[in-house]
Homo-oligomer: A and B are copies of this chain.
Amino acid sequence: MAQAAETRAHGGDLDRAAARYGGSRAQWIDLSTGINPHAWPLQQALQSMPGSVWQTLPDHQAQDRLLDAARRVYGLHPSNGIVAAPGTQALIQLMPRLASGDRVAVRHPSYNEHRGVFADAGWQVTTAPDVGTVVCVNPNNPDGHRTASSDLIDLAVRVGTLIVDEAFMDMTEDDSLCRLPLPANVVVLRSFGKFFGLAGLRLGFAVGAPETMERISRLLGPWAVAGPTLHLGAAALNDHRWIAEMKQTLSRETLRLREMLASAGLDRLSGTDLFQTAEAPDAAALHETLARARIWTRIFDDWPDHIRFGLPASDAAFGRLEQALSQGVT
Contacts and interface: CB of A to CB of B under 8 A. Distances in A.
Interface string A53-78: 11111111101000100000000000
A149 interface: no
B202 A4 contact: no
Contact of A1 (B10, B81, B199, B222): B81
| Nearest 9 Cβ contacts at the A-B interface | A200-B227, A5-B222, A202-B226, A12-B57, A93-B221, A86-B86, A4-B218, A39-B55, A54-B200
Contacts of A219: 93
B217 A200 contact: no
A51 B39 contact: yes
Contacts of A2: 214, 217
The residue in A56, A63, A83, A93 that gathers the most chain B C-beta atoms within 10 A of its C-beta is: A56
A253 to B, nearest CB: 17
Given A4-B222, A39-B51, A55-B199, 20 more contacts: A1-B81, A1-B210, A4-B218, A4-B221, A5-B221, A5-B223, A10-B57, A12-B56, A15-B61, A30-B56, A33-B57, A35-B55, A35-B57, A54-B201, A58-B202, A86-B202, A89-B224, A90-B224, A120-B218, A199-B227
A117 interface: yes
A221 B81 contact: no
A42 interface: yes
Nearest to A30: B56
A58 B226 CA distance: 15
Contacts of A227: 199-202
A15 B64 CA distance: 13
Given A1-B81, A86-B226, A201-B228, A221 B92 contact: yes
B202 A1 contact: no
Interface string A282-313: 00000000000000000000000000000000
B1 A213 contact: yes
B1 A223 contact: no
A189 interface: no
Contacts of A8: 222
A310 B24 CA distance: 47
A267 to B, nearest CB: 30
Contacts of A12: 56-57, 59
A229 interface: yes
B89 A222 contact: yes
A220 interface: yes
Nearest to A203: B226
A231 to B, nearest CB: 9
Nearest to A8: B222
Given A1-B83, A200-B226, A39 B54 contact: yes
B89 A221 contact: yes
29 contacts: A1-B210, A1-B214, A2-B217, A3-B60, A3-B63, A4-B218, A8-B222, A30-B56, A35-B55, A35-B57, A39-B54, A52-B200, A53-B200, A54-B200, A55-B197, A55-B200, A56-B200, A57-B199, A86-B90, A86-B224, A86-B226, A89-B221, A89-B223, A90-B221, A90-B224, A93-B221, A113-B221, A117-B221, A226-B226
